[in-house]
């Protein structure tokens, strides 16, 4: 397994990082992490007790190595039963870990196709599930708490579809035979509807937080279904854990990384820009949620920037640090040239080279250790998420009003100052955007929050929009809602007060009911967007809300033109 890590710092940045590395050595940060010494993060007894219940990820590779054979047997049994597809229904870490494994490895011959459902947009739900045979699909509900709204909504939809298919074909099977669940024991599994009827339940150790759960059942169950070698995957994780026990932080691939990132963040370089080899580019979205939710609180944090279109070297401000992730032997082409030029210009560049794609498991461990250590430097608890619940609570209130005959959570999109794009051309829209965008300057960052249906066309349109916003010289991020609420949403409210938020919502020409629920998927995603706007504004974060029509790509092109004109 490769642990190659090379960090290039300027003469101005190096002394502060060296001082922190010396402190990490003297204060034995690596040893204390593996000894579960919670005074690393806090002296408060209550906070320390909570952290004690969040360090199980340090044992995950060893624990699950003992279960690898049973997991592979489960995968064999699912294929033998005639299933051809699996759908993971989760949010945050519960969906991102399976997603990066699938993006990195694909599906081995003879194994199941895998789809990830983590959007409540009705069109997005339909795009993932409507062409599947419900009786040839294994539906996997993934929720650590067992009460997460989105996976339970997905389950209600899938359960109804399976019931209908069984009735139509006069099968004597029960719907639960087509479902599995990944959750925690106790109250979590008890909260899952029909939990005692399901084909299989996978109960994780409860002392592992969702964003630290890649090498638990969360990642390993889907991995068993798509043909990944679980022994090799877990061995890569174990090997990195062993390296991260090294007491000297300069020889410790996780501690050195964490000290460097957090030390640079304290000096104003808090925009961690990920430049990834296309073969492992999916890792960026997982890193994004791990780092943002773990470090973005109490007014500090590291802002991960994933999949940002490249810029000229001089267009990157002094608030950046660059992480280059590559596979040995890969020709990075323009990406490699950019990294070299950034290093020559004095920007901090961190290079990590993997020998093999299987080493993404080692990277999960490296970055988990680095994130935990970053919490030490930043003076925060890297294992809580104090602001995540705010938008959820506001969403629940809106939906409660809609379900009891109050104001429709999906109606009146213009009531809170939305810019309805259908009412504007590019010029008039530019006039509305100009004051906010022209005032944006580093260390601001601009976050695109897309509560719309993902697609390749929308991905490309958002990338072009980020290119247009580069004229501000600010870092740009982009995420689909509600997925990002379970990852970067914590950073947006609790992290550095430098974000400018461009929230995108859209019409729902065809809505989708949630069987047995008092509202639809359309009402749900609109309430989630509304709740997030309200939470951001409660923290005095600037929000520009643009409401798109049914033609998302066309309306995003108009918005891109308006941004270009506003910044001209």
Mean pLDDT, rounded, of the chain: 95
| Number of alpha carbons in the 13 Å side-chain half-sphere of residue 195 | 21
d(CA 404, CA 286): 38
The whole-number pLDDT of residue 241 equals: 98
Confidence of residue 403 (pLDDT cuts 50, 70, 90): low
Q: 287-317, pLDDT tens digit by residue?
A: 999 999 999 999 999 999 999 999 999 999 9
CA-to-CA separations, 136 to 99, 129, 250, 355, 391, in angstroms, rounded: 21, 12, 51, 37, 36
Q: Smallest Cα–Cα separation from 264: which of 18, 535, 552, 73? A: 18
**pLDDT at 401 exceeding the cut of 80:** no
Confidence of residue 10 (pLDDT cuts 50, 70, 90): very high
d(CA 91, CA 417): 29
Q: Smallest Cα–Cα separation from 245: which of 2, 61, 29, 1? A: 29
The whole-number pLDDT of residue 170 equals: 86
d(CA 95, CA 89): 7
* Mean pLDDT along residues 352-373: 97
Return the H-helix or E-strand segment holding 87: strand 85-89
Confidence of residue 408 (pLDDT cuts 50, 70, 90): very low
The whole-number pLDDT of residue 390 equals: 86
Judged by average pLDDT, the poorest of 55-69, 166-180, 229-243, 405-419 is 405-419
Q: 485-502, pLDDT tens digit by residue?
A: 998 999 999 999 999 999
* Mean pLDDT along residues 457-474: 98
Task: Tell me yes or no: is domain 388-566 CATH 3.30.70.3280.
Answer: no
Q: Tell me, yes or no, if the two domains 60-234 and 388-566 fold the same way.
A: yes
What is the pTM for the complete model shown? 0.96
The top-level CATH class assigned to 60-234 is alpha beta
Confidence of residue 320 (pLDDT cuts 50, 70, 90): very high
d(CA 101, CA 98): 5
Exposed / middle / buried, residue 178 (Cβ in 10 Å: 0-12, 13-18, 19+): buried
* Mean pLDDT along residues 514-537: 96
- The domain ranges of the chain are 4-42+247-378, 60-234, 388-566
% of the chain exceeding 70 in pLDDT: 97
The whole-number pLDDT of residue 184 equals: 98
**pLDDT at 47 exceeding the cut of 60:** yes
What CATH fold (topology level) applies to the domain 4-42+247-378? Rossmann fold (3.40.50)
**pLDDT at 411 exceeding the cut of 80:** no
Q: 182-201, pLDDT tens digit by residue?
A: 999 999 999 999 999 999 99
| Radius of gyration, alpha carbons of the chain | 23
d(CA 206, CA 188): 9
* Mean pLDDT along residues 359-375: 98
């Amino acid at each position: 397994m490769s642990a190659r890590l090379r960090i290039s710092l300027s003469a101005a940045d190096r002394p502060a990082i060296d001082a922190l590395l010396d402190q990490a050595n003297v204060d034995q940060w690596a040893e204390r992490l593996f000894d579960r010494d919670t005074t690393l993060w806090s002296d408060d007894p209550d906070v320390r007790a909570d952290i004690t219940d969040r360090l199980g990820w340090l044992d995950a590779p060893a624990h699950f190595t003992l279960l690898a054979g049973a997991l592979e047997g489960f995968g064999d049994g699912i294929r033998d039963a005639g299933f051809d597809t699996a759908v993971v229904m989760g949010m945050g870490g519960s969906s991102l870990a399976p997603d990066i494994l699938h993006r990195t490895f694909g599906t081995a011959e003879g194994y199941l196709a895998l789809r990830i459902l983590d959007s409540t947009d009705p069109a997005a739900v339909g795009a993932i599930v409507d062409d599947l045979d419900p009786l040839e699909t294994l539906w996997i509900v993934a929720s650590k708490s067992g009460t997460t709204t989105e996976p339970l909504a997905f389950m209600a939809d899938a359960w109804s579809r399976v019931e209908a298919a069984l009735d139509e074909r006069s099968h004597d099977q029960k719907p639960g035979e087509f479902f599995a669940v990944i959750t925690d024991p106790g109250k979590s599994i008890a909260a899952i509807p029909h939990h005692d009827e399901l084909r299989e339940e996978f109960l994780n150790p409860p002392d592992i937080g969702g964003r630290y759960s890649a090498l638990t059942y969360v990642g390993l169950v889907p991995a068993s279904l798509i043909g990944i070698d679980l022994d090799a995957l877990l061995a890569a994780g174990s090997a990195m854990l062993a390296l991260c026990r090294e007491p000297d932080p300069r020889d410790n691939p996780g501690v050195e990384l964490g000290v460097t990132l957090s030390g640079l963040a304290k000096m104003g370089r808090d925009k961690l820009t990920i430049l990834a080899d296309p073969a492992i580019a999916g890792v960026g979205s997982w890193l994004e949620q791990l780092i943002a939710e773990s470090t973005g609180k109490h007014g500090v944090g590291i802002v991960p920037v994933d999949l940002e279109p490249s810029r000229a070297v001089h267009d990157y401000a002094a608030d950046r640090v660059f992480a280059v992730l590559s596979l040995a032997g890969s020709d990075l082409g323009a990406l490699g040239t950019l990294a070299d030029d950034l290093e020559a210009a004095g920007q901090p560049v961190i290079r990590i080279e993997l020998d093999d794609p299987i080493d993404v498991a080692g990277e999960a461990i490296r970055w988990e250790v680095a994130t935990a250590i970053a919490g030490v430097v930043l003076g925060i608890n890297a294992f809580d998420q104090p602001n995540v619940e705010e938008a959820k609570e506001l969403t629940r209130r809106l939906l409660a009003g809609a379900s009891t005959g109050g104001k429709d959570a999906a109606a009146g999109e213009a009531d809170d100052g939305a810019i309805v794009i259908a009412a504007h051309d590019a010029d008039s829209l530019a006039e509305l955007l100009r004051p906010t965008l022209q005032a944006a300057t580093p260390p601001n960052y601009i976050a695109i929050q897309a509560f719309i249906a993902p697609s390749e066309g929308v991905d490309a349109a958002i990338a072009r929009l980020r290119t247009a916003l580069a004229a501000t010289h600010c870092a740009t991020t982009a995420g689909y809602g509600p997925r990002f609420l379970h990852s970067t949403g914590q950073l947006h409210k609790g992290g550095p007060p430098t974000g400018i938020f461009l929230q995108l919502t859209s019409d729902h020409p065809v809505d989708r009911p949630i069987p047995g629920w008092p509202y639809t998927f359309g009402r749900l995603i609109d309430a989630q967007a509304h709740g997030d706007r309200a939470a951001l504004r409660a923290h005095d974060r600037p929000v520009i809300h643009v409401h798109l029509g049914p033609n998302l790509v066309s309306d995003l092109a108009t918005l891109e033109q308006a941004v270009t004109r506003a910044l001209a």
